[in-house]
Amino acid sequence: MGICIKSIGMYVPDNVITNKDLESKINTSDEWITTRTGIKQRYIADKESLYDMAIKAGKMAMEKANMDEVDIIIVATLSPETLFPSTACVVQEHIKARFAFDISAACSGFLYGLDIAKVYLESSNANSVLLIGTEKLSSLLDWSDRSTCVLFGDGAGAAVITKGEGDILSSVMFSDGKYKDILYAKRCDYLKMNGKEVFKHAVRNMESACKIALEKANLTPEDISLVIPHQANIRIINTLTERLNLDPSKVYVNVNKYANTSAASIPIAMYEAFEKGILKRKDKILLTAMGGGFTWGAAVLEF
């Protein structure tokens, strides 16, 4: 018996903002955005709060798992509505759990949460965890800054994690605070990013984490059925694919539809891949992400 992802859920707002929509608001173009990022559109919360998205994604995952409650709710977010109470505690009002808490690891948040869930479940301090990655990044964006506002979107993804068939074969997490000024958002201010530096570190760090995670799992890239990287930028994904000598057909990409949804990125992609039949039970999959902090990591799962 291992640690398995029993079910997945997701939610994105109804409001879609395309690259063409942005052309009338800022000095940019669909061609400029697509060429540099691979993004064609993003979902932007209009009437939905961060809580709404987290609760809806969480409830979907719970319904698909046929469960009414969990032991723990963990929410990964870099865009909380309040300093306290935690987003997880607000979710707990709608989904029964013994206790709930938030983590902040930016775009690596879902992977950090997965690692934490694994520790709780293996220590027998819990039998079930609801892990939610949720972001309302539009609340942090300067919509006159084309270097950042075109890159991000809103949404939530969730997973119910229990003891059962499947396993987390390896999980490695890293951080380095000396790069704190390259990608950040201060309180009551907009998100700031040095894109060139983020690209360089993202490719190198994710490549290294993937190799370590594969080695710990005693697997090679050829053993992996599907790679689901953080969906930040198509050039980062393509470069990582080349450096790991991966078959591009094994790398799931949906950044074109959702843009960068930070901690929600990986679970949204997992949900979509599973619903399409691309991700199947017993597949060995590789997850990887890097975010502000810097934080980064990778995990190998038998799904």
Specify whether the CB–CB gap between 87 and 77 falls below 8 A: yes
Stated length of the chain:
303
Nearest partner of 55 among 16, 81, 30, judged by Cα: 81
Whole-number pLDDT of residue 37: 97
Whole-number pLDDT of residue 170: 98
> Quick one: pLDDT band at residue 293, thresholds 50, 70, 90?
very high
Q: How many percent of the chain have pLDDT more than 70?
A: 100
> Quick one: pLDDT band at residue 105, thresholds 50, 70, 90?
very high
- Tell me which of 4, 19, 107, 210 is the catalytic residue: 107
- Tell me which of 19, 205, 233, 260 is the catalytic residue: 260
> What architecture does CATH give domain 2-164?
3-Layer(aba) Sandwich (3.40)
Average pLDDT, the chain: 97
Q: How many helices (H) and strands (E) does the chain have?
A: 10, 13
Q: How big is the CA angle at 65 (ends 61 and 71), to the nearest 5 degrees?
A: 80
Whole-number pLDDT of residue 172: 98
Locate the domains of the chain by residue range. 2-164, 167-302
Whole-number pLDDT of residue 188: 87
Look at 300 and 125; give whichever has higher pLDDT. Answer: 300
Active site residue 210: no
- Tell me which of 201, 210, 230, 233 is the catalytic residue: 230
pLDDT at 175 over 80: yes
Segment 153-176 mean pLDDT: 96
Segment 207-230 mean pLDDT: 98
Whole-number pLDDT of residue 263: 98
* 283 phi and psi angles, rounded to 5 deg: -65, 145
Active site residue 260: yes
Q: 2: number of CA atoms within 13 Å, CB side?
A: 13
CB atoms within 10 A of CB 10: 25
DSSP-based three-state secondary structure for 192: strand
Domain 167-302 in the same topology as domain 2-164: yes
pLDDT at 1 over 80: no
Active site residue 149: no
Q: How far apart are CA 68 and CA 47, in angstroms?
A: 27
Amino acid identity at 15 = N
Q: How big is the CA angle at 191 (ends 189 and 196), to the nearest 5 degrees?
A: 145
> Quick one: pLDDT band at residue 165, thresholds 50, 70, 90?
confident
Whole-number pLDDT of residue 102: 98
> Quick one: pLDDT band at residue 141, thresholds 50, 70, 90?
very high
Whole-number pLDDT of residue 286: 98
Whole-number pLDDT of residue 238: 98
Whole-number pLDDT of residue 77: 98
pLDDT at 125 over 90: no
What is the homologous superfamily of the domain 167-302 according to CATH?
Thiolase/Chalcone synthase (3.40.47.10)
How much is the pTM? 0.97
Whole-number pLDDT of residue 124: 82
Whole-number pLDDT of residue 287: 98
Could you read off the pLDDT of 258-271 as tens digits, one per residue?
A: 999 999 999 999 99
